[in-house]
């Protein structure tokens, strides 16, 4: 079984928190590597945190956990909103002549589209209260 390293950050629910969390996680991931996945995971973190902040209760605290094993990097965002994020397909990728449900073409929800494209896997785990939204990226075994 692979040894797991993990760091948790408590993030206040205010707009500046996204940049602060992004900087802290980037500093950690610069130590953990590998370099070829860091930018993608930082973008995914920004999208997940922005979504959590959009629905956060005033004064709430969000949690970010970053974990690493020999085979993957995982980022979790915990918030107090039980509603899952909604996947929307950007209009730019809709094929001409295809009819898609209107809810898939909304302006919101594109973050999950990016996370789906840039991560190996993602999911949602209910918590009381709220949920944990997580995403992972496989990495080489040579770390």
pLDDT of residue 102: 56
pLDDT of residue 90: 56
pLDDT of residue 45: 95
In order, the DSSP letters of the chain are ----EEEEEEEESSTHHHHHHHHHHHHHHHHH--HHHHHHHHHHHHHHHHHHHHTPPTT-EEEEEEEE-SSEEEEEEEES--SPP-----GGGSPTT----GGGG-STTHHHHHHHHHSSEEEEEE-SSSEEEEEEEE--TT-
pLDDT of residue 60: 82
pLDDT averaged per 10 residues, the chain (length 143): 82 88 92 85 93 80 93 93 72 53 55 89 91 92 46
């Amino acid at each position: 079984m692979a040894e797991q390293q993990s760091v948790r950050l408590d993030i206040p629910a205010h707009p500046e928190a996204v940049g602060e969390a992004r900087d802290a996680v980037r500093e950690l991931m610069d130590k953990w590597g590998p370099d070829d996945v860091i930018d993608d995971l930082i973008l995914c973190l920004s999208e997940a945190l922005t979504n959590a902040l959009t629905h956060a209760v005033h004064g709430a605290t969000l949690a970010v956990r970053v974990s690493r094993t020999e085979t993957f990097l995982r980022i979790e965002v915990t918030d107090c909103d039980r509603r899952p994020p909604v996947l929307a397909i950007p209009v730019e990728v809709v094929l001409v002549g295809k009819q898609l449900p209107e809810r898939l073409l909304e302006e919101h929800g594109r973050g999950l589209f990016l996370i789906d494209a840039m991560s190996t896997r993602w999911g949602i785990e209910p918590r009381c209260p709220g949920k944990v939204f997580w995403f992972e990226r496989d990495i080489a075994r040579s770390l």
